[in-house]
Amino acid sequence: MYHMKNIIYFENEVVLPKCMYTLKNPIEASENITDIKINEQVTKFLKKMPNNQLLDLEERQDKLLHKLDILYERIKAISSLCSIKYQQESTNKTVNNIKSEEVVLILNSENLPWFLNIFLKGDQPLNVAWHVHSSVPNAKISKIEAFFRKFQDLYKFQTDSKVNLRLIFKGDSTAAELKLSTLGVSVMGTVNILRYLCLTYPNIVPYDYNNYEVEGLLDICYQIESASDKNKQILIPKLFTNSKKWIVDSKFSIVDLAAFNIAKQLQNSAKYVPQQWLNDCQKVVP
């Protein structure tokens, strides 16, 4: 299994095993396995070996151990550098995965991208193109077209664009999905897409990802996305349990944007959310 290299010269031959483990054949009961007694061979060999060769062997082992100590220290140094770099990246958690390549956002034909408007009203170089998949009924296409006509100034072509965002509207059973590349893992769900966008463009919508209250409310929004109408009536009020003007603290945040996007998809949003809060959100989000 392993070829041995002679480190020191010796005349007597040491019989080495041909495999690491020898198994007895259960079918041939009479089979005899020869024990080469490697320990006895080596002991006998060492007793006959001249002292100068033993000293050479010990010196070689010391050199190898010294090299291993140096290698271990280098590995420790590299490991500590990696740890420092990871801590710095987690402290300044800004996602820079969006490149000049095309990014694809797949949406349900029932859910219009209200959450995108706030990211398009600033100076962000973002081009958005959209089209409707054949799985969408003709009756719902007019609603999609009316949305983009209303906000045509936001979705106009940007000459200095670095990111091309392509929206694809599919059938009713489709979940929101952001595809950053053909080989990469997709971002699933509108709330998780919002998390990604807020980290990518950190100066547009406040997102404190270290705040457990914020993360808990976003998880509720994620549940609301796929909940039935009956469960939505139970879940949505949980978002406003401790709210004042805004849901969290005293300023508009990612939680307000996620909840606003949900409210805009509802036929009668006044039944689910406070009207004053909805009016305040409409002043922030186009």
pLDDT in tens, the chain (286 residues): 456 566 666 666 667 777 767 777 667 655 566 667 777 777 776 676 666 666 777 788 888 888 888 888 778 777 776 655 555 555 455 555 544 467 889 998 888 999 999 988 866 667 788 888 888 888 888 889 999 989 888 887 766 667 788 898 988 777 889 988 766 778 899 999 999 999 988 888 999 989 999 999 999 999 998 888 889 889 999 999 888 899 998 899 999 999 999 999 888 877 889 999 999 999 998 8
Residues 101 and 184 grouped into a single domain: yes
Q: What is the pLDDT of residue 28?
A: 64
Q: Are residues 75 and 103 in the same domain?
A: no
Instruction: Report pLDDT for 247.
Output: 93
**How many domains is the chain partitioned into structurally?**
3
Task: Give the pLDDT confidence score for residue 164 in this predicted structure.
Answer: 82
Which pLDDT value is given to residue 207? 92
The CB-side HSE value for 243 (13 A sphere, CA atoms) comes to: 23
pLDDT at 260: 94
102 & 190 share domain: yes
Q: Which domain holds residue 278?
A: 206-286
pLDDT of residue 78: 76
Q: Are 120 and 154 in contact (CB under 8 A)?
A: yes
pLDDT at 200: 86
Domain finish residue from 41, 70, 92:
92
* Final residue belonging to a domain, choices 161, 180, 204: 204
**pLDDT computed for residue 9 by the predictor:** 62
Note whether 251 and 159 are same-domain residues. no
Please report the pLDDT score of residue 165 as a whole number. 85
Q: Are residues 71 and 111 in the same domain?
A: no
DSSP structural state of residue 270 = G
Domain holding 173: CATH number? 1.20.1050.130
Strand order of the sheet with strand 163-170? Answer: 126-132, 163-170, 102-108, 177-179, 187-188
- Burial degree of 211 (CB within 10 A; 0-12, 13-18, 19+): middle
> 129 forms bridges with which residues in the sheet?
166
Could you tell me if 220 and 178 lie in one domain?
A: no
pLDDT value of residue 221: 93
134 and 114, same domain (yes or no): yes
pLDDT at 2: 54
Instruction: Using the 3D structure, point to which of 76, 92, 108 is the last residue of a domain.
Output: 92
- Are 86 and 102 members of one domain? no
